Amino acid sequence: MAGNITYTMLKPDAVSANHTGAIIKMIEEAGFRIVAMKMTKMSAETAGKFYEVHKERPFYKDLCAYMSSGHIVPMILEKANAVEDFRTLIGATNPANAAEGTIRKIFAKSIEANAIHGSDSDENALIEGNFFFASVDKF
């Protein structure tokens, strides 16, 4: 059965463009409850650890530099069928392919600076949530 928790973070392009409030409004209006949230900044080393799964990909180095270039807003969200419903709300990784009305279609600048992250599985939601917040299961 699908879990009720997902992990997200607003990326440096969205935060620096002052879209934090508008994106959070869309998240809440879509029925997600924010159960953990902070504004922080990753070092390139921390970004490297977070994205370790992509370390063989050609975009890994640029991605780590980009994700440590400014503030981010990590959040844990709660809703029935959270992972799948949230990925529908944010749209495709490449904003050029994202559906109308999705967060990435509205706010993302490029495939790298794509405004927001959303976990791709219940398992990764817990791993990623625990990366930024202690003991996700308490939520």
Binding site for ligand CMP (CB under 6 A): 59, 63, 93, 111-112, 114, 117
Closer residue to ligand CMP, CB minimum distance, 19 or 117: 117
Closest among 80, 77, 76 to 4, alpha carbons compared: 80
Helices (H), 11-72: 12-16, 20-29, 44-50, 60-67
Q: Which two tokens stand for residue 120?
A: 């791709």
Closer residue to ligand CMP, CB minimum distance, 6 or 114: 114
Dist. CA 1–CA 133, nearest whole Å: 24
CB of 105 to ligand CMP, least distance (A): 15
Q: Which two tokens stand for residue 95?
A: 């904003």
CB of 30 to ligand CMP, least distance (A): 18
Closer residue to ligand CMP, CB minimum distance, 81 or 110: 110
Compute φ and ψ for 33, nearest 5 degrees.
-105, 125
Closest among 62, 27, 29 to 47, alpha carbons compared: 62
CB of 101 to ligand CMP, least distance (A): 19
Active site residue 117: yes
Catalytic residues: 117
